Amino acid sequence: MDKSSKQSISASQGVALYAGAVLGSGILILPGITAGIAGSYSLIAWIGMVLLSILLACTFAYLSIEYPSSGGIATFANKAFGYYTGALSGWLFFIAGSFGQIIVSLTGGMYIAFAFDLPDFFAYIIAVLLLIIATVGNYFGLKTSGKVQLVIAALTFLILLSTILLSLPHIQYHQLSLRINQDNIMSVGQSAMLIFWSFFGWEAISSLAPEFKQPRKRNIMFSTWGAICIVGILYIGIALAVVGTQSYTLGGTSTEQALNNASLAEVVRKVVGLNGAWITGIVALTICLGTTNAFIAGISRLGYSLAHDKLAPKWLDKYDSKNAVPHRSVLLVGLFSVAGVVISFILNIRLDQLVLVPNSLAIATYVIGTAAGVKLIKHKLGKILAFLSCILCLAAYPFIGTSVVIPISVVIICLSYITWRKRKEKNRNASSNYRGETHD
């Protein structure tokens, strides 16, 4: 356990922090995208992912109770399977988080473009501006205060809850169908894999565990179940609002994609009017800026930590002590994301295609984390939940399709780099010892 951690998080604060870690930009785009793929059957995928979230969240809760550490999944993986697996989880999470900022920034840009009826390329310009603002701010150590992040989390909650409540009288319940069959099982599975991006964050409780007040077990479990209830109700409610008001379209033209990417704005436009859509677009932009800023801050520090532990190129092992910023890692994450937005524009890569990249990495991270849970958790129920979570995450991979090569490639590159660096250091040490012996 981290002895230096201050135990200051109460159960109610834990619910807010945990729910805020899961509620993000994914819910702004994925209800429309998944409805465009599977229609009303996408609701099955949302319900299924909420059920999987219960297993995942409880698994990490039990791990956090028995092994409280700010290191999170990387610590669990290292403790359960050793040095190399811990390194792999760090690499997978770093690349998933860096790539994810492409999606987050584009989400903000697409909401503004849709709400104000701007040409598509404006979404990419706005996305690049969001990334530049967040990168420059992090580079010079301009931190977003906890209060600002809390306001952003509150905005996310309010826009989701308001959209659900406003849409209820307009939902066409008679057109909803939850019957799954051979004809729609693939589209439901593909939707579920996209939805995974919205639920990425259940591991956050692991890093916060040492800071919970006593009794730690009760407070962590209360926070976990509170967050599950809030996130589950909001996500299923939003999916129902989009599907029930038919604020999406089945198809693939640029106009149809724009509608699906900004489905919440379309829901509000239908039930409130044009001004409501504008407000939704601006709030969505604010949410995405806050998310991008927070993720660049967190992911850049992970990159620095990996380099400092000799698990990533030493070029990243630089820390600006004056501003308390790993400035090279911040630049790498920012430039990577900007390049990703530019490439997406040039190659006309859709958001639903982009989401599969961090999803494939995120699921691999969860496979490692839940497998660690199977080995480490002593509590019988916790061990069973970890086993079920691991099996379901593994079962999800066939629906990712060719994207499965992404985590495999990361694993190969990570292990190759670590092996090469260890061999290089071994040869250097051997050479130094040889020169010393010769000199003697």
Q: What is the pLDDT of residues 11-52, one digit of tens each?
A: 887 887 788 778 877 888 899 989 888 888 999 999 999 999
CATH of the domain at 122: 1.20.1740.10
Structural domain span for residue 195: 11-407
- Nearby residues of 144 by Cβ (< 8 Å), 6 or more positions away: 137, 290, 293, 294, 297
* pLDDT at 242 > cutoff 80: yes
Contact by Cβ (8 Å): 86, 75? yes
Question: How far apart are the C-alpha atoms of 265 and 287, rounded to whole Å?
Answer: 14
Domain membership flag for residue 251: yes
Domain membership flag for residue 438: no
Residue 150, SS3 per DSSP: helix
Task: Please count the structural domains in the chain.
Answer: 1
Domain membership flag for residue 1: no
Domain membership flag for residue 401: yes
The pLDDT of 56-81, averaged and rounded, is 87
* pLDDT at 254 > cutoff 70: no
Q: What is the pLDDT of residues 365-412, one digit of tens each?
A: 999 999 999 999 999 999 999 999 999 998 887 778 788 899 999 999
Domain membership flag for residue 139: yes
Domain membership flag for residue 113: yes
The pLDDT of 74-81, averaged and rounded, is 88
3-state secondary structure 272-302: CCHHHHHHHHHHHHHHHHHHHHHHHHHHHHH
Question: How far apart are the C-alpha atoms of 296 and 288, rounded to whole Å?
Answer: 12
- The predicted structure's pLDDT at residue 123: 93
User: What is the number of residues in the chain?
Assistant: 440
The pLDDT of 287-296, averaged and rounded, is 84
Domain membership flag for residue 420: no
- The predicted structure's pLDDT at residue 252: 60
Question: How far apart are the C-alpha atoms of 219 and 18, rounded to whole Å?
Answer: 12
Contact by Cβ (8 Å): 277, 270? no
With bands split at pLDDT 50, 70 and 90, how would you rate the model's confidence at 4? very low
Closest CA to 206 of 94, 89, 321, 73: 73
* pLDDT at 306 > cutoff 50: yes
